[in-house]
Amino acid sequence: MKKYFVSAALIVLIAACGGGSSSDAAKDSAATVATEPAAAEDITVNPDYKAGLALIAKSNCLTCHKVSEKLIGPAYDSVAAKYAGVDTAVTYLAKKVIAGGSGVWGNVPMTAHPELSQADAEQMVKYILLLKNQ
């Protein structure tokens, strides 16, 4: 039985290293380049970036949060990474900003911001979610 597995593994290795032509290698290389993510886009031209940044600048968010460093609360880029691809993230996080609470990022509670409208809180969250790869 052991000889069978060794033989099978050896056949797979030989086939994997096998004799494709250099044009195959070029095609594979081109395909890899085409599927790699593009260079980071300039998010500062995004209207959500500008509007959200302006709202955050007028608030007390930066007392507890930084873009890429944990302070009292999580870093914005960590929040963006955690909620990347979550369809309901904007609404959920905006409600969390308004209501406050704890438990998601540890025991330190987030201060409630009831003075914010849902629309403003959503705009702030859209800005934060843009920071995923920054």
| Binding positions | 61, 65, 110
Residue with tokens 């993230």: 89
Please enumerate, by residue number, every residue annotated as part of a binding site for heme c.
Answer: 61, 65, 110
Nearest to 49 by CA among 37, 41, 61, 39: 41
CB 61 within 8 A of CB 100: no
E strand segments, 29-116: none
CA distance 99 to 41: 32
